[in-house]
Amino acid sequence: MTHLTSRARRIGAVAAVGTVAALVLAGCGGGADTGGDSPAASGSLDSIKAALEKGGEITYWSWTPSAEAQVAAFEKAYPNVKVKLANVGTGNDEYTKLQNAIKAGSGAPDVVQVEYYAFPQFTLTDSLADLSVYGFGDLEEDYTASTWNSVTSGDKVFGLPQDSGPMALFYNKNVFDAAGVEIPTTWDEYYEAAKKIHAADPKAYITNDAGDAGFATSMIWQAGGKPFTAEGTDVTIDLQDAGSKKWADNWNRLVGEGLVAPYGSWSDEWFQGLGNGKLASLVIGAWMPGNLMSGAPDASGDWRVAPMPSYDGQPASAENGGGGQAVTKQSENPELAAGFLWWLNNSDESIEIFLKSGGFPSTNAQLSDPEFLGDTPEYFGGQEINKVLADAAKNVVPGWQYLPYQVYANSIFGDTVGQAYQSRSDLNEGLSAWQDALVQYGNDQGFSVNK
């Protein structure tokens, strides 16, 4: 769910400028009103189950489509608990509000939806409750390594993963066949395929990319890049490390030669292209099937899924989008909130609802469930797509980290790397410009970046 409209990005950027600084200061200074003494300094999975029986009222901010049905099922299972669900906006909008509430010292919900790329921003500023005191550390085995890594920091557990988006190659078989293209397994083959498809139909492209921060960071992730590292407020940014360069060099030929469609995802052209075959493939998160079915119904039966191409032909994937839920430090009843979170992202009942809404799971049980793996959707010509997608989840390159101000970073991607896309110039220069802006911003906000 990392894809946001440019409008949302801009607004987020405006708000972030005003809020991150204060957040960092509050984080460093111990935080004036961010919770004070935690009502429950220790507990266990049993104690949160007891809290669920006892009941109470909690607030939950989420924009995920399955939230309503999940809350209804939860309230049925635990009738003493009342969950006030509010959709306060998608992605950046919600983070803006959450940051404001944290700064103001009140107004944050008990449980909040946070995308993986935004987790560091809130954990670093001490805004989320550490759930390891309730024994959530024991849940590690239930989730895929990459998603678990995204919600934890050392021994601390700041949330539970909900959806995941291991990347795969979604392609339109008809278009590939018509152009005489085999399914590419390496990026070199992908580049050749891009040329063939564009040559066969000048209006058709192998994929689209107008410069999208979520996509670029995922691609750098797959290439083995680790451009962002953070240890407390010490941050290192190197967007010219081996992996970042590898991706930029690879993608340069596609963008530079005009082989990718120059429009953004979720645009009108994008939906049209997915439906009419002018957009032949997408390298995107495993949550895509539902969107294809609802957004491009005309192309039913044409699409297939294959592993993401890699640099050496060996399986390698990365997470693209996805997120989980966390308990805020402001929560007055963290034990109950943790109980709800535990039910939300660990119970079969809730995950079932989530899967029905078109999400892709982060839980190992579902990812190895024969029924899930054996699903053969008609839209994909009866292919067992979940087998490919579940494999992708296993092959996510480990060790990735986002910046502690990734929300802001993504919001200025268009102004820096996006420029390189527009002028079809070297993406490496765009990455360097992005890095310069991020180093300066981070230092201005009280981090010590590249020092």
Which two three-digit tokens encode residue 65?
């489509």
What contacts 224, CB < 8 A, 6 or more positions away? 242, 243, 246, 316, 397
The pair phi, psi for residue 325, each rounded to 5°, is: -125, 155
Least separation in angstroms between residue 198's CB and other proteins is 22
Stretch that binds other proteins, among 8-16, 71-79, 143-151, 386-394 (CB under 8 A): 8-16
Closest to 5 in 3D by CA, of 438, 411, 415? 411
Least separation in angstroms between residue 269's CB and other proteins is 9
Residue 294-313 contact track with other proteins, rule CB under 8 A, x = bound: xx-xx---------------
Which two three-digit tokens encode residue 336?
């109950």
Query: 126 near 149, Cβ under 8 Å?
Result: no
272 sits near other proteins (criterion: CB under 8 A): yes
**What is the number of H-type helices and E-type strands within the chain?**
20, 15
Q: Which helix (H) or strand (E) holds 57?
A: strand 56-61
The percent helix, strand, coil of the chain (3-state, each to 5) is 50, 15, 35
Least separation in angstroms between residue 294's CB and other proteins is 7
- Among positions 93-112, residues that touch other proteins (CB under 8 A) are 93, 96-97, 100-101, 103-107, 109
Strand arrangement of the beta sheet that strand 111-115 belongs to = 81-86, 56-61, 111-115, 323-327, 160-163
Residue 370-409 contact track with other proteins, rule CB under 8 A, x = bound: ----------------------------------------
380 burial (CB, 10 Å; 0-12 / 13-18 / 19+) is buried
Residue 338-367 contact track with other proteins, rule CB under 8 A, x = bound: -------------------xxxx-------
Closest to other proteins by CB, 136 or 354: 354
Query: 246 near 312, Cβ under 8 Å?
Result: no
Stretch that binds other proteins, among 24-32, 62-70, 171-179, 413-421 (CB under 8 A): 62-70
- Among positions 411-430, residues that touch other proteins (CB under 8 A) are none
Closest to other proteins by CB, 418 or 430: 418
Least separation in angstroms between residue 248's CB and other proteins is 26
Residue recorded with tokens 């192309």: 299
Q: What gap in Å lies between CA 376 and CA 108, rounded to an integer? A: 42
Closest to 290 in 3D by CA, of 170, 154, 132, 176? 170
Angle of helix 334-346 relative to helix 67-77, nearest 10 degrees?
A: 110
DSSP 98-131: HHHHHHHTS---SEEEEEGGGHHHHHHTT-B--G
The pair phi, psi for residue 414, each rounded to 5°, is: -65, -35
329 sits near other proteins (criterion: CB under 8 A): no
61 sits near other proteins (criterion: CB under 8 A): yes
Closest to other proteins by CB, 252 or 276: 276
Closest to other proteins by CB, 1 or 193: 1
Q: Which of 25, 40, 86, 200 binds other proteins (CB under 8 A)?
A: 86
Closest to other proteins by CB, 60 or 221: 60
29 sits near other proteins (criterion: CB under 8 A): no
9 sits near other proteins (criterion: CB under 8 A): no
Closest to other proteins by CB, 133 or 284: 284
Least separation in angstroms between residue 90's CB and other proteins is 4
5 sits near other proteins (criterion: CB under 8 A): yes
268 sits near other proteins (criterion: CB under 8 A): yes
Least separation in angstroms between residue 253's CB and other proteins is 29
Q: What gap in Å lies between CA 178 and CA 181, rounded to an integer? A: 8
- Among positions 153-172, residues that touch other proteins (CB under 8 A) are 163, 165
Least separation in angstroms between residue 38's CB and other proteins is 22
* DSSP state, residue 329: T
Interacting residues toward other proteins by CB under 8 A: 1-5, 7-8, 11, 14-15, 18-19, 61, 63-66, 86-91, 93, 96-97, 100-101, 103-107, 109, 163, 165, 266, 268, 271-272, 275-276, 285, 287-288, 290-291, 294-295, 297-298, 321-322, 357-360
